[in-house]
Amino acid sequence: MKRELEFRAWNGETMNHNIIVGKFGAFWVNPGAKNNGLDENDSASLTPFNTKCSENTIIMQYSGVNDKNDKRIYEGDIFKLGAEKEVFEVRFEHGCFMAFCKGKQYGLIGELQICFIDVIGNVHQNAELL
């Protein structure tokens, strides 16, 4: 079984997909971009090309499922389901990616009709959608 383990990080200002997460913590990876949180003097870095994320950085995992537009669904995402007027939030609880609506568990992300899921934002950048 092949499963993608991918993460993104919210540092309070920007969402960054260039990170690695593992036993030693979460690290920003420098793909050559400027202003991505890298600190050349960070003694916690594994290599000169990354720096450790602060403890306040929020890490979100990819669910392994894409929405109807082939957009990756991460924990913390907000989505609509078909013609439903309600919006749903993706949370990782009890070892599963779950859809929640108004604080109540709605179902597993993998069991919903993917062709109807439309990611419209996330809880960090679009909290007003909830």
Cα(39)–Cα(30) distance, rounded to whole angstroms?
Answer: 10
Give the predicted TM-score (pTM) of the model. 0.83
pLDDT given at position 109? 93
Residue 57 resides in a domain: no
- In terms of residue numbers, what domain contains 67? 62-129
| Same domain flag for 25 and 75 | no
Q: What CATH number corresponds to the domain at position 84?
A: 2.30.30.290
pLDDT tens track for 45-98 = 666 667 788 888 999 999 999 999 999 999 999 999 998 899 999 999 999 999
Residue 106 resides in a domain: yes
Q: How many CA atoms lie within 13 A of 47 on its CB side?
A: 7
Buried b (16+ CB within 10 A) or exposed e, 51-88: bbbeeebbbbbbbebebeeeebbbbbbbbbbeeeeebb
Number of folded domains that form the chain: 2
| Same domain flag for 40 and 78 | no
Residue 84 resides in a domain: yes
What number of H helices and E strands is found in the chain?
A: 0, 12
